[in-house]
Amino acid sequence: GAGVSQSPRYKVAKRGQDVALRCDPISGHVSLFWYQQALGQGPEFLTYFQNEAQLDKSGLPSDRFFAERPEGSVSTLKIQRTQQEDSAVYLCASSSTSGRETQYFGPGTRLLVL
């Protein structure tokens, strides 16, 4: 594929709404990562998949955050009962193996919770 794609690019939600953010990694990439980038900060790790297995979810800030990658390609990050502090850019990255490979980032989804 051409690169990592994410949708939607922008999302406005009312506080308490559920949102779902989609990531399409580069075709064939085994590893997929989600990061959260607050305004003026660097990206912070949320969770990591190797194929369909979620190997690390230590960065998920609360049980309102849930991620899945059921077939080992497309991934969805779901945020339930959104709060204002969830407003951020959510970045997806993929890499070709589980080793020391470069992570390629998507354009991100900018979430604003009102």
Give the nearest distance from C-beta 65 to other proteins in angstroms. 15
- Smaller CB distance to other proteins: residue 14 or 100? 100
Beta-sheet pairing, 109-113 with 10-13: parallel
Determine which residue in the list 21, 25, 48, 109 makes contact with other proteins, applying CB under 8 A.
48
Distance of CA 103 to the CA centre of its chain: 13
Binding flag, residue 44, other proteins (CB under 8 A): yes
Determine which residue in the list 35, 67, 88, 111 makes contact with other proteins, applying CB under 8 A.
35
**Both structure tokens of 112:** 């604003």
Backbone angles phi, psi at 83, to 5 degrees: -120, 160
Binding flag, residue 25, other proteins (CB under 8 A): no
Residues making contact with other proteins (CB under 8 A) = 31, 33, 35, 40-45, 48, 55-56, 59, 91, 93, 95, 98-108
